[in-house]
């Protein structure tokens, strides 16, 4: 909108005022002094009444200017402007602190708000797995269909990202207690440091902008809870907020897999990526044509009872899932190991049905069977120390359980009988193991954007 079409000097004539009104087509002009300050308002109706009263077109506009008029400041909320326009006001001048005209709003011209700077937040939950482990490896389901049952829980990776005006990339990780800085994407991809997982994701995503990202998780590194996939999902959630054509859930999971398995070269399966992105209880089937995530509709009473019956226990031992999966791949050539993975797939179907039917004692017993099978996949999955932890738990109230993730360390999950749960917790604590509280999480990856000005820029400035 051209503001000069609305402005005339106080010394201007009625003729000049009508000429301005003809130009702006809004039926109004604003008078100003020699310093450019708006001093009054005159409408076409005001001028018409003066002419009918005997004034001529060559007389001064000062005779019909109204110095008592409504104006607003640039920061006035749209809501207030809308209400005033709806209350018999046709045109509102927008004046700055020195009363100079900086805008005009009317019923026909109320500009859409300019896009402001935003930042993106996301969080992705970890998963606990119940059955089917090993069958989500491509070298298995390329020949034999795989299937797993898992659920997400209330432990998360968190990310917050803002886009920069330059190409610089800055990563701040509380998990690694380290930071990463690069001048651009090419520089970032050439680095050689502890941020290999995130660089692998950047290689998959190829962002065209610089950014700052801050990362932290509610769980330790190498926990067996699918943490690498969870961190990648949280970062992808932020990137997705800055896309017009957003990735869907399957595409997000595939990008996370691509980064960790293909670009970084860490061996492993597919279930972690789908679990954290989709969230909730899922039965996931794998074959070379497509992977399909089936949400499980488990009755709320069953979920509450299961939640109260499970104990998550941190062994305090970090594990290397990549090495374990490589060893498992090597042993998969043995027919006996192959048959055990197939049996584990059959067991995952049984576990799915037990959850849907609410047969939780059978579920606990199936966890034991799943762990007995999994221990045979690789000599690196368990050891004498982990075996003692499991045997001690079973002797103190656990019906069954399993080590989560690839094995070798991380978290044990135990199913406890209702009136023996206290005994089991006391036993675990007596051998210096930490029990981790949790709840089931029905949502998967969640991401959103926030206006910077509304949340922190005022404080920072």
Closest C-alpha to 390, from 401, 379, 378, 380: 401
Q: How far apart, in whole angstroms, are the C-alpha atoms of residue 5 and residue 28?
A: 10
Q: How many CB atoms sit inside 10 A of residue 368's CB?
A: 18
With a pLDDT cut of 70, the percent of the chain lying above it is 95
Q: How far apart are alpha carbons 154 and 127 in whole angstroms? A: 9
Residue-averaged pLDDT of the chain: 91
Q: Note whether 109 and 1 are within 8 A (CB).
A: yes
Q: Which of 295, 189, 178, 276 is nearest to 236 (CA)?
A: 276
Of 21-25, 145-149, 360-364, 377-381, the range with the lowest mean pLDDT is: 377-381
How many residues make up the chain in this entry? 461
Distances in Å between the alpha carbon of 232 and those of 47, 142, 261? 67, 25, 12
Q: pTM of the full predicted structure?
A: 0.84
Burial status of residue 364 (CB atoms within 10 A of its CB: 0-12, 13-18, 19 or more):
buried
Convert the pLDDT of each residue in 402-420 to its tens digit.
999 766 778 999 999 999 9
Closest CA to 153 of 443, 370, 440, 425: 440
d(CA 215, CA 225): 17
Sign (positive or negative) of CA dihedral 181, 187, 188, 194: negative
Residues 220, 223, 225, CA angle at the centre, nearest 5°? 115
44 contacts 18 by C-beta, under 8 angstroms: yes
- Give the residue-averaged pLDDT of 354-372: 96
- Mutual angle of helices 44-52 and 14-24, in 10-degree steps: 150
Cα angle, residue 382 at apex, residues 377 and 386 outer, rounded to 5°: 155
Give the integer Cα–Cα distance in Å for 406 and 438.
Answer: 21
Segment among 147-161, 211-225, 275-289 with least mean pLDDT: 211-225
Q: Which CATH architecture does the domain made up of 119-436 adopt?
A: 2-Layer Sandwich (3.30)
Assess whether pLDDT exceeds 80 at residue 330.
no
**Domain positions in the chain:** 3-106, 119-436
CATH tag for 3-106 (out of 3.40.50.620, 3.10.580.10, 3.40.50.300, 3.40.190.170): 3.10.580.10
Range scoring the smallest mean pLDDT among 61-70, 270-279, 402-411? 402-411
Residue 271 · residue 148 · CB < 8 Å: yes
Lowest-confidence segment of 81-90, 106-115, 321-330, 379-388 by average pLDDT: 321-330
Minimum mean pLDDT among 37-41, 189-193, 305-309, 391-395: which range? 189-193
- What phi, psi does 402 have (nearest 5°)? -160, 155
């Amino acid at each position: 909108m051209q503001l000069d079409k609305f402005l005339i000097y106080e010394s201007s004539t009625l003729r000049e005022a009508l000429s301005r009104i003809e130009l702006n087509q809004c039926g109004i002009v604003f008078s100003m002094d020699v310093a450019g300050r708006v001093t009054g308002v005159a409408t076409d109706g005001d001028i018409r009444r003066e002419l009918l009263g005997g004034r001529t077109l060559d007389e001064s506009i000062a005779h019909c200017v109204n110095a008592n008029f409504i104006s607003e400041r640039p920061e006035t909320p749209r809501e207030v402007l809308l209400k005033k326009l709806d209350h018999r006001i046709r045109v509102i001048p927008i004046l700055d602190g020195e009363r100079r005209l900086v805008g005009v709003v009317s019923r026909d011209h109320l500009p859409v708000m300019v896009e402001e700077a935003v930042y993106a937040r996301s969080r992705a939950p970890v998963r606990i797995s119940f059955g089917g482990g090993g069958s989500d490896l491509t070298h298995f389901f390329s020949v034999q269909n795989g299937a797993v049952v898992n659920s997400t829980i209330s432990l998360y990776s968190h990310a917050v990202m803002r886009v920069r005006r330059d190409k610089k990339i800055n990563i701040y990780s509380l998990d690694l207690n380290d930071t990463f800085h690069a001048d651009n994407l090419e520089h970032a991809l050439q680095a050689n440091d502890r941020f290999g997982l995130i660089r692998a994701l950047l290689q998959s995503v190829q962002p065209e902008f610089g950014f700052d990202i801050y990362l932290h998780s509610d769980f330790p590194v190498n926990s067996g809870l699918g943490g690498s996939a969870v961190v990648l999902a949280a970062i992808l959630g932020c990137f997705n907020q800055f896309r017009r054509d957003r990735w869907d859930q399957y595409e997000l999971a595939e990008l996370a897999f691509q980064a960790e398995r293909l670009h970084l070269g860490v061996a492993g399966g597919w279930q972690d990526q789908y679990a954290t992105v989709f969230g909730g209880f899922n039965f996931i089937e794998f074959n070379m044509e497509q992977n399909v995530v089936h949400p499980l509709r488990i009755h709320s009473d069953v979920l509450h009872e299961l939640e109260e019956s499970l104990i998550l226990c941190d062994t305090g031992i970090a594990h290397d899932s990549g090495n374990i999966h490589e060893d498992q791949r090597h042993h998969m050539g043995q027919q006996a190991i192959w048959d055990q993975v197939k049996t584990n797939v059959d067991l995952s179907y049984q576990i799915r049905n037990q959850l849907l039917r609410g047969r939780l004692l059978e579920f606990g017993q199936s966890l034991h069977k799943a762990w007995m099978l999994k221990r045979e996949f690789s000599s690196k999955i368990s050891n004498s120390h982990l075996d003692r932890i499991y045997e001690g738990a079973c002797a103190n109230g656990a019906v069954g359980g399993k080590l989560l993730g690839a094995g070798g360390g991380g978290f044990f999950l135990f199913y406890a009988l209702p009136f023996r749960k206290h005994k089991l917790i006391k036993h675990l604590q007596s051998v210096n193991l930490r029990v981790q509280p949790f709840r089931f999480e029905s949502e998967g990856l969640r991401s959103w954007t926030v206006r910077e000005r509304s949340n922190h820029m005022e404080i920072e400035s």
